Amino acid sequence: MTMNGTRDLGAIVLEKFQFSDELFMIRVLPEEDSSIPLPGQFYLLKSWEGFDPLLSRPFAPIAVHENGSLDFLVKVVGRGTKIINSSIEGAKVKLRGPCGKPFPAPSGQRLLLLGGSVGIAPMLFAYKRYKDIVPAKLVIGVPGGEWENFCKSELMSDTNLEVFSDDGSIGRSGTPLTFLTEEGVGTDDEVWACGPIGMLKALGGSLIHKVREDQVYVSLEARMACGIGGCLGCVIPTTLGNRRVCADGPVFRMSEVSWDEL
């Protein structure tokens, strides 16, 4: 009956790596067999017992390993991510996933992957997964110095990669969109993007008339409770009416989203 294999899983923290005070990578190993996620899918994660915080937090994996372990890149922004940041190796966590619809299989055209801030996570995963199948280019934008260790880390090695930072302290100065303006984009390119809402909105303008509309996909964020399409807490306005980010998304055609109402 289950289409997507979403499940609640116990998992154990194998490794935690701190890139800076507010950015870390956490590797967790599910204790049971579970579905392998595709790029764009995500997990709800919590590292605490009890109901405070009540809700698990959504994160998109940056990598899946052979033994089933998952890597997440997490930015500390509030209460939940702060508690997750205090997890230590050996600690137990809980996962719900994989949730959501992944990016569609690449069509064979060049894949241009744009990630801003923690929106890098699913883009990096997509890159590693598809780079041997289609020509792929990863363009990331980071806020600045806090992200330096991450950009220099092994995770980013061996990657056809361009880095932009707001203040030019890492890579080139600008955002992933700067790349589009400066280097252009091919009409047939597939463009996938994930990042701050401002970046995604601007992306529309940058791409207009440059690539085929139906080849641009974005992965969106929303506050989530259930993660499986039950509560309607995560809806966004689209041209087809409200759509659930957790179940109908998080990946949407750029053209579907009612950006003005977001």
Partner 1 sequence: MSSKRLLQAKIGSLTLRSPAIIASGVWPMEPERWPSGVVDNVGAICTKGLTLSPKEGNRGIRIWETNCGLLNSIGLQNPGLEAFLKNEFDQLKDCGCPIIFNLAFHREEELYHLLDILTSFGFTGTVEINVSCPNVSGGGMTWALNLASLEKVLKRARALWRGDMWVKLSPNVPKICDGAIVAESCGADAVVVANTWLGLAIDVKRKKPVFERIFAGLSGPAILPLSLRLVWEAASAVKIPVIGCGGVADAEGALAMLMAGASAFQVGTALFSDFEVVKKICDGIENYMAENQINDLEEIVGIAQKA
Ligand X SMILES: Cc1cc2nc3c(=O)[nH]c(=O)nc-3n(C[C@H](O)[C@H](O)[C@H](O)COP(=O)(O)OP(=O)(O)OC[C@H]3O[C@@H](n4cnc5c(N)ncnc54)[C@H](O)[C@@H]3O)c2cc1C
Ligand Y SMILES: Cc1cc2nc3c(=O)[nH]c(=O)nc-3n(C[C@H](O)[C@H](O)[C@H](O)COP(=O)(O)O)c2cc1C
Q: For the segment 231-260, give every residue that binds partner 1 (CB under 8 A).
A: 231-235, 241-242, 247
Closest CA to 69 of 105, 51, 93: 93
Of 131, 233, 235, 237, the one binding ligand Y (CB under 6 A) is 233
Q: Does 113 bind ligand X (CB under 6 A)?
A: no
Question: Does 50 interact with its own copies (rule: CB under 8 A)?
Answer: yes
Cα 257 from chain centroid (whole Å):
18
Torsion angles phi and psi, residue 153, rounded to 5: -75, 170
Name which of 91 and 228 has its Cβ closer to partner 1: 228
Tally Cβ neighbours within 10 Å of residue 204: 15
Least Å distance, CB 52 to its own copies, is 4
Measure the CA–CA gap between 157 and 19, rounded to whole angstroms.
15
Among 71, 190, 221, 248, binds ligand X (CB under 6 A): 221
49 burial type by CB count under 10 A (0-12 exposed, 13-18 middle, 19+ buried) = exposed
Q: Work out which of 229, 256, 258, 259 binds ligand FES, going by CB under 6 A.
A: 229
75 is an interface residue for ligand X by CB under 6 A? yes
Question: Minimal CA–CA distance to 25: which of 79, 89, 112, 106?
Answer: 89
Assigned token pair, 211: 């690539």
Q: Nearest CA to 100 among 214, 224, 237?
A: 224
Answer yes or no: is 151 a known binding residue. no
Piece in contact with its own copies (CB under 8 A), picked from 48-56, 60-68, 200-208, 230-238: 48-56
Stretch that binds its own copies, among 84-92, 127-135, 151-159, 197-205 (CB under 8 A): 84-92
Mention every residue, 6+ apart, whose C-beta is less than 8 A from residue 1. Answer: none
- Here the tokens at position 67 are 């033994």
| Residue the block writes with tokens 């041997």 | 132
Among 26, 122, 244, 254, binds ligand FES (CB under 6 A): 244
User: How many residues make contact with ligand Y (CB under 6 A)?
Assistant: 2
Please identify which residue in 36, 77, 208, 231 interacts with ligand Y, judged by CB under 6 A.
Answer: 231
Would you call 150 helix, strand, or coil by DSSP? helix
User: Binding residues for ligand X, per CB under 6 A?
Assistant: 42, 57-60, 72-75, 77-81, 118, 121, 221-224, 250
User: Binding residues for its own copies, per CB under 8 A?
Assistant: 48-53, 83, 86, 88, 90-92
Annotated binding site for [2Fe-2S] cluster: 226, 231, 234, 246
User: Binding residues for ligand Y, per CB under 6 A?
Assistant: 231, 233
